[in-house]
Amino acid sequence: MSTYVNIAIIIVIKILILFRSITLANDNDLWFPKEFPNDKLIECGLDHEMFGLSIIDNYLFQLEKCAVIIYPPPLDKYLDKDFKKLKLENGYRYTFEEIQPDWKPNYCEMAKKAVNTPWLVLTYWTRPEYEAKHVLIYFFAVIDGTMKYQVHDFDLQNTIGKDKIKVRDNTLYILIAKGSGQEHFVIHNTAVEKRYELMGDPFTKMDHIKYDFICINKDDKKNYFISRIPWDDCSKDNVNLTHSLLKSISLSFTVNGKIIMISTKDNLVLLTDVEFLDFKMNDSITKPQYPLQVKSLNDFFFCEKYKSNILIFIIVGVIVLVIIIIAVITFIMIRKKKNKAKKPFDKMISKSKLKIDGKILGSKTTNTIGTSTTIPTAATSNTIPTSITIKTKN
């Protein structure tokens, strides 16, 4: 009898586990809608907040403080193979309550309290003890002098916090990984503002492992390189260069073998190879450098509507310039015509004056009685004025 009871209990437990996994899988799947309502469609992601960019299974996610914009597959509609453009068009925007109604409390209120730029990263995690990958969302920001480091697991529906107290308001955490589902790492400047250390992920309890410090340098040809080296091996100039490029990084994601870090404040995009996170025994000796591309954010993010606006602006500018040129040319031509019309009259007046002055200067005048004096008189007709003779008495 007890055997049957035990079997029944086992069956019930398995059914409950199966039901729980199905329920949680549904929560997990909510991030990947198969259909999208038209009322959620947005024209351009650049018109909305951006505190996180993530790529999972060819879905592109743009995370706001309290919402997410989902760009459905294929990924190559948005990101070209050469990493030159990321097109943020025709996504579907949901509030956190709409996309994950059972996620309570979500990170919306904490994100609003952040004194620096909050980070939100959507990713997944695979572990041998899990039958399926778990979708996670990372959140970190400085709130009331504490670095809030929280990770929510949508399969287990639990949140794990790894907060660090007494940090500067400008303390920076940059989350990077080799790819979705792989171990994450954190670049941080907790100890010293300009000292960026690479460590393991606090969520996986690997933050006690340190991987040296980030050092960026530039050669004579203005090519950038990034490396992980002991702090004392990074020159003062390179420390300042590293700080200038990393101090305002607010987004990062990994795709197609590239780690991409973005500063919306300084309009910068940094790209390097995922090999940067390869940890070999002789790294501390060889100190390998990896190429780092530095480009303008204006050349990276793209929306067709803004391209059209720029084109319209250019066309309007050209039209205004043409109108100004035509107006200047017309003014010059009118002035020239007036000058030409005035010249014959000026010449006529000038000749008349010369003739009159010539007679006055050429005649001999005297005060002797009996001689005549020549004086000019006003013209009584349209002819040039002549002279008259006045006789005096002896």
Q: Which tens digits make up the pLDDT trace of 183-212?
A: 899 999 999 999 999 999 999 899 999 999
- The pLDDT value given to residue 7: 60
379 against 240, higher pLDDT: 240
Residue range 245-265, pLDDT digits in tens: 999 999 999 999 999 999 999
**What Rg, from alpha-carbon coordinates, does the chain have?**
41
Q: Are 372 and 364 in contact (CB under 8 A)?
A: no
200 against 19, higher pLDDT: 200
Look up residue 293 and give its two tokens: 């591309």
Residue range 73-89, pLDDT digits in tens: 999 999 998 899 999 99
Report the alpha-carbon distance of residue 343 to residue 346 in Å, rounded. 5
- The pLDDT value given to residue 132: 74
- Least reliable range by pLDDT among 47-51, 79-83, 119-123, 390-394: 390-394
Residue carrying structure tokens 């697991």 = 153
Report the alpha-carbon distance of residue 147 to residue 278 in Å, rounded. 27
The average pLDDT across 12-39 equals 65
pLDDT band with cut points at 50, 70 and 90 for residue 342: low
Helix (H) or strand (E) holding 382: none
Show Cβ contacts of residue 86 under 8 Å, excluding neighbours closer than 6 positions: 78, 79, 300, 301, 302
